[in-house]
Structure 1
Amino acid sequence: MKAMILAAGKGERMRPLTLHTPKPLLPVAGKPLIFWHLEALSRAGFKDLVINHAWLGEQLVAALGDGAALDLRICWSAEDEPLETGGGIQRALPLLGDEPFVLVNGDIWTTFSFDQLSLPVGKLAHLVLVDNPAHKAVGDFSLHDGQVANPASSGEYPPVLTYSGIAVLSPRLFAEQKAGAYALAPLLREAAEQGLVSGEYFAGDWLDVGTPERLSEADRLAGGI
């Protein structure tokens, strides 16, 4: 199975740190944030990776190249204009192939182990869900017996959890989409409404590294490993 890291965001909330450095290259405990993902994916047996890029993307390409130095094979999906999460994934599908792939948001930090991830037969997506962080009062999805549901239709399936930015997706999730900029979340919600999304709960270390303050928190947590 291949993996894709989303690394095309501009990092607006991280300014001024991202004015001259793409967010995935900001340091966490002495190494770029994206290296934590690369090393974790490699340990789990993933060797073929696709990374999208836009803002200051040439720095990412220069830092990682084809991945050979990390015993990886990296293909790059360049975006000339912002395509958001869904559009960016769709642009990269020719590089990912026809089989399910692991997706990782490049702006999270976590100790999650990727080696057990899979997509159950008949599902379009499998999501890793976490407790709602302090900065997010309302969660994204409910989880019950491995089935993901939208909060409005979940009924007796509490609690509502946050999507971690880690998933296994089928390319079929994007089959009806036109090329261009669009978000991933509506596709996941539609698939969940149809009963086509499974999930799991992760209770370990996880951070949405979206602000300088949370970058400092990631640095503190990672430094203790």
Structure 2
Amino acid sequence: MIPAEAIVLAGGLGTRLRAVVRDVPKPLAPVAGRPFLAWLLDGLARQGVARTILATGYLGDLVQDALGTTHAGMALAYVREEAPLGTGGALYNALRLAEGERVFVLNGDTWLGAPLAPLAEEAPGADLVLAVRPVPDRARYGTVRVEGNRILGLEEKGPSGPGLVNAGLYLARRDLPERRPMPASFSLETEVLARPGGLDLRAHRTEAEFLDIGTPEDFARAQALIPAWAAA
């Protein structure tokens, strides 16, 4: 049985999108007339997720006003950071509300059309499983270093060429904060994924459709691509 709970990290400032999206937080950026988050939540509900925790920050009240307490039969809960916590701090903060032993985690500005069940089956005992995707140019994203399906660390953004990148979908143990205590504010990428230490971090490879809406160019592409991908 796959976990029936998810966390969406929806607290980003969206500074690169300010030229085209100014009055709402990035996860509410309109894609084909609907908030981007609505497309993400559709996919979770279709795959049997019964409860999603939205970790909000900048303009978080607008997220709750827009989405309410249910979406497509799925319950929605909210946890808002009062000061920026980074991706890791936001995740740890939201895990306090999780009810199951494992929970899916999604970046609120990234589309990945991958099914959830294979991710859950990749390494059921791992502390965290990360969906990774091969791309022809890793310069914008950095690279996930793996040996088999074990994550060894991350390489910084910058070098060009093909590589495996973080595709913005995870499966994490609810007790991850106890297994790797961290400050209130930290980056999941640089403090955990880049330095696994004693944690068991695994990679799940996917070729699914992938799009980060964080730049004006990719946000423009999303207007046609995401509705088409969702319909498929």
Task: Return the structure number with greater strand share.
Answer: 2
Is 1:12–1:18's contact at 8 Å kept on the other side of the alignment?
Answer: no
SS in 2 for 1:92: helix
- Going from structure 1 to structure 2, the CA distance change for 1:23 and 1:8 (only over 3 Å counts) comes to same
Partner of 2:226: 222
| Aligned counterpart for 1:190 among listed residues 188, 195, 220 | 195
Partner of 2:209: 205
Aligned length: 217
Amino acid at match of 1:117: L
Partner of 2:150: 147
Instruction: Compute the displacement of 1:178 (Å).
Output: 4.2
Is 2:37–2:108's contact at 8 Å kept on the other side of the alignment?
Answer: yes
Partner of 1:155: none
Rounded to whole Å, the distance in 2 between the matches of 1:215 and 1:221 is: 10
Rounded to whole Å, the distance in 2 between the matches of 1:151 and 1:83 is: 21
- Identity among equivalent pairs (%): 27
Length-normalised TM-score, structure 1:
0.86
- Going from structure 1 to structure 2, the CA distance change for 1:195 and 1:58 (only over 3 Å counts) comes to closer
Rounded to whole Å, the distance in 1 between the matches of 2:124 and 2:134 is: 26
How do 1:16-165 residues align onto structure 2 when only pairs under 5 Å count? 16-67=19-70, 69-97=71-99, 99-118=101-120, 120-132=123-135, 134=137, 136=139, 139-150=142-153, 160-165=163-168
Instruction: Compute the displacement of 1:75 (Å).
Output: 0.7
- Going from structure 1 to structure 2, the CA distance change for 1:47 and 1:79 (only over 3 Å counts) comes to same
Rounded to whole Å, the distance in 1 between the matches of 2:111 and 2:203 is: 19
Is 1:10–1:18's contact at 8 Å kept on the other side of the alignment?
Answer: no
Length-normalised TM-score, structure 2:
0.84
Runs (5+) with no aligned partner, structure 2: 156-161
Deviations 1:54-92 (A, max 9, x none): 11111110111111x521111100111111111111111
Instruction: Compute the displacement of 1:102 (Å).
Output: 0.5
Rounded to whole Å, the distance in 1 between the matches of 2:31 and 2:67 is: 17
SS in 2 for 1:86: helix
